[in-house]
Chains A and B, each alone.
Chain A
């Protein structure tokens, strides 16, 4: 699907005139019409890598702010040619740092907020507000506004219309100009905030934008893991509606694992898990911890301890309801061509051994590719009753994932995430503390 453009060239206005301009925009042509009665989406759209790639001349196209192959390839080239480990994800902070050291003053049009991915435009948002921070730290605040009608690609249909607002400037100028947002988010419509950047890159802005009434879309794979999990836990426990794209990307793993235990004949094995191993790409442990936390919560395991071993893997112990310890290990694997999402899971191994009859063991291996299955089979696993599945990983664009959330979220946090987030946070914080705390 191709991105869709606004109906007209956006009009640049003084920021404080935007609310009144928008109020008049629909009234003029169609009295009583205030556009689509759907939702408002506020997007933090830094696109640092894209801006840097344009500046150094590696991309010769306008800045769009949407994920696309050209951008991913250019970022991968920077990883390969720069002094970065090959396992560095293409949108990693280190790629931005590496680019910022290169010289260049190329400029292209900045169309962030004006190109709307069709997965999102198909949902007919009432208002799309894009906050587009610039590399130039002295860039004064600019405001652009345009009417917008998502036109179905197959033609026909009658689309409800909305408008787009772009606020562009340095982080400082954006922070100062946030007041106008109050008038831009109609009370009667649900408002979403999609923080499409690292969670730790502009904490002041994030705390000002992520008001309790906003439905939050974040990606805990982006940013320093402890800060990401702390933020997630804080927002979830405060009762705010939080949607984590990193959690969303776990759905095929959770679904496949649940599928393994759907036949009632296998249910008992769930009570006898003694070991859980999760392999992840690179160093970001958040997704792996969230999956382990989900399993632990579902099986009513209590966290006993969590340690960081050799500054690499995380090992934790959980007490099962029957008092037996289940061991968990999260292992980082260096991957040559990593996914764009840091810390993606590549394999899970569950070993179940009934206490009374350990010989009747069962080993469940789920992996993103058959090579990983074979790796996880090592150590005699194939001697047990073995259940193996290759999990189909969906490589959706982030816009597709957000569109999915916008169309399916209930305006509340998934209860499963709500319960898993505190456990994952605790695992990571315990493992990071210098003396591995132990508690009962």
Chain B
């Protein structure tokens, strides 16, 4: 939804923390993410005056660009934003630099160290450095080793490394990668980014739960009967077939984004709002989570793959017909899983998570369904009584809805459900920052709250290990169910819930 007129009294009021003098070094600076997300987010931070005057961005990649080339390329891809603020761009641009670096070449790293010292002198960045690894995951370990060998990670307070997903392919590879990275830097220096955590509405789950006294007392197995977490996309695999074929929905979405939503929804209240306290609770809840049936895991997971769909005017290809995809591919584009969390708060409450491509709507949400009233005193207008639901809308149309029963107008005493709706758009009328704006700022501030810690990553991979092993070793036990593009996934996913006498919510 587009934002109406900006509230003029709101402009400039945010009380943000200030990033200390800083040089952000992006490895993979010639890649897509740099000009699509990172530099626009940094320019946004600059316009909001949240970057210090002592700031520099050093782009690094193999291409033999100069500072001038880099600035021009960034300017070209941000041309729309620059049109709105040309003066700000001219100033921001002075802090952009480029150094050709092959991360595997020792002499390049020595040159990089010298360049950083030069930038320190030029921009007074005080040797505070954030290294952003926007490179292929196979180079994460090498990059950390090279940086450490060039003495660029020796001060844990002044240097940190930001790592993009995927962090490993499974539990073992994640564990090995963690060990490798931790050989060269301290855990406090590693910021594993998950852009879902940068979303205002995901963070709002914490505020909703822990700033309001009405929710926390009922946020448990005594009042909640089930929880559904959905991340639906309308798009297909698009340009990412090469990566997606080897990952699939489970690795691409579930292990990270959905599991982060799960941990924030289910975690215990932290003692205080402190990065480690929060991450401890998130890790603990993941360690207590398990696939609903560990002995027969195929009974609680449904994999699907989109087939053809659309209409005559806009026909949609099936996944196996997409460019770069094997015609006999068994990569899942849809997955639905039933989980349990074995702790006092959640024992016996099923968590259903699902994600898929080419579903009818782009929507991410968490739905908490409350237990039914113990005695039904009233007839329900819809035939059967409905449970109360709290729906936390992550995107789009960010907000929350509470469904509850009221008396249906008329002489009888019939109940019917209504909705109490909170919308960010209606209440604030301002678009939220892009997740990367928040996360880049936090990384440079050295605030790890919204980044995943090594034990969280490992716990998340371990949670899905029975399924990953099954896909690897006995794929016939987790067959791929075809579903028509722009439908809500395979019918088998509905059966998964039907066994528990439940339905997926149709967002």
Contacts and interface: CB of A to CB of B under 8 A. Distances in A.
Interface string B1-35: 00011011111110111100000000000000000
A203 interface: no
Given A408-B16, A411-B53, A412-B49, A270 B426 contact: no
Contact of A264 (B11, B49, B429): B429
B180 interface: no
A36 to B, nearest CB: 11
A410 B7 contact: no
A295 B52 contact: no
A255 interface: yes
B5 A264 contact: yes
B363 interface: no
A264 B17 CA distance: 27
B427 interface: yes
Contacts of B12: 414-416
B18 A407 contact: yes
Most chain A beta carbons < 10 A, residue from B5, B16, B17 = B5
Interface residues of A, number: 27
Contact of A262 (B7, B16, B126): B7
Contacts of A254: 9, 13
A407 B10 CA distance: 22
Nearest to A404: B15
A383 interface: no
A-side interface mostly:
helix
A251 B429 CA distance: 21
Interface in A402-434: 407-412, 414-416
Contacts of B9: 254, 257-258, 261, 270, 295, 298
Given A188-B124, A262-B428, A262-B429, A267 B15 contact: no
B5 A267 contact: yes
Contacts of B429: 262-264, 267
Interface string A219-252: 0000000000000000000000000000000010
Contacts of A267: 4-5, 7, 429
A19 B82 CA distance: 47
A397 interface: no
A299 interface: yes
Chain B, interface residues (CB within 8 Å), range:
20 to 34
A409 B16 CA distance: 10
A37 interface: yes
A411 B124 CA distance: 13
Nearest to A415: B12
Given A263-B429, A409-B18, A415-B12, A258 B49 contact: no
A262 to B, nearest CB: 5
Interface string A353-389: 0000000000000000000000000000000000000
A40 B11 CA distance: 31
Interface in B22-67: 49-53
Contacts of A412: 49, 53
Most chain-A Cβ atoms within 10 A of its Cβ — which of B7, B124, B427, B429?
Answer: B7
A335 to B, nearest CB: 27
A267 B53 CA distance: 34
A40 B108 CA distance: 37
A241 B456 CA distance: 43
Interface string B188-221: 0000000000000000000000000000000000
Contacts of B17: 407-408
Nearest to B49: A410
A298 B11 contact: yes
B53 A270 contact: no
* B8, B9, B15, B51: residue with the most chain A Cβ atoms closer than 10 Å: B9
A258 B429 CA distance: 12
A8 B16 CA distance: 37
Closest CB pairs A-B (n = 6): A264-B429, A258-B9, A264-B4, A298-B8, A258-B10, A262-B428
16 contacts: A251-B13, A258-B7, A258-B9, A261-B7, A261-B9, A261-B10, A262-B10, A265-B426, A298-B8, A298-B9, A410-B49, A411-B52, A412-B49, A412-B53, A414-B12, A416-B12
